[in-house]
Amino acid sequence: MKKLIILLMCIFLCGCSIINTDNIEFLNTIQSLTTPELICNYMKNNFEYGPPQINANIDYYSIYIYPPDPCLFWKTEIGYCLDFAYFGIFTANYHGYETYLFKIFFKNTFDIHYLAVYKENGYYNYSSNQDYYSINTLNFYKIVEDYFNHPIIHCDIVYNYKLDYVEIYDYNTNLIEKIYASW
């Protein structure tokens, strides 16, 4: 019952009409995505990375101040890393997973990146945009280390990004930890 109330509140707050057939499709989609890996596969097949459809006049740096909305993201199928991460943690949390949002700050740039982190069977795994990484670690530091050292992502080589620090938020957006660069 609690899950249904949360979903109905999300639908109401995101502008979906209660009578609209999109609501049923959104609910069915959320209910069918029962694991973080399924969630990421769904995002990979259905969403694209790009400016979120919240305002035609949005500029790149204002993406850090808009509230993420899983229903709107689902409807428009386009968004930035915050949209992907929030859809992931929203959906996984609905299915009872413990979830976290990592907000990554880089040195010498205003760019920020978000990761969704999922606790599965006592271990942490994560997703970056629609890509799922099953690393089965016991601590948050290893997620940050894996993200920066992953052979596909190459933050330091491709983008010349250097980690400054990471803020870690629980599902209720409480800041629970900060990890500073140590390498």
Could you tell me the residue ranges of all domains in the chain?
2-180
Least confident of 9-18, 43-52, 76-85, 152-161: 9-18
pLDDT number for residue 62: 46
pLDDT at 92 over 50: yes
The answer to whether 88 touches 118, Cβ cutoff 8 Å, is yes
pLDDT at 68 over 90: no
**In 62-176, where does DSSP find H-type helix?**
70-76, 81-94, 140-149, 155-158
Query: Average pLDDT, stretch 121-142?
Result: 95
pLDDT number for residue 51: 76
Better-predicted residue by pLDDT, 183 or 120: 120
How far is 125 from 45, CA to CA, in rounded Å? Answer: 20
Identify the burial level of 32 via C-beta atoms within 10 angstroms of its C-beta, where 0-12 means exposed, 13-18 middle and 19 or more buried. Answer: exposed
Pick from 75-79, 155-159, 178-182 the range whose average pLDDT is largest. Answer: 75-79
- Which class is 2-180 in CATH? alpha beta
pLDDT number for residue 109: 82
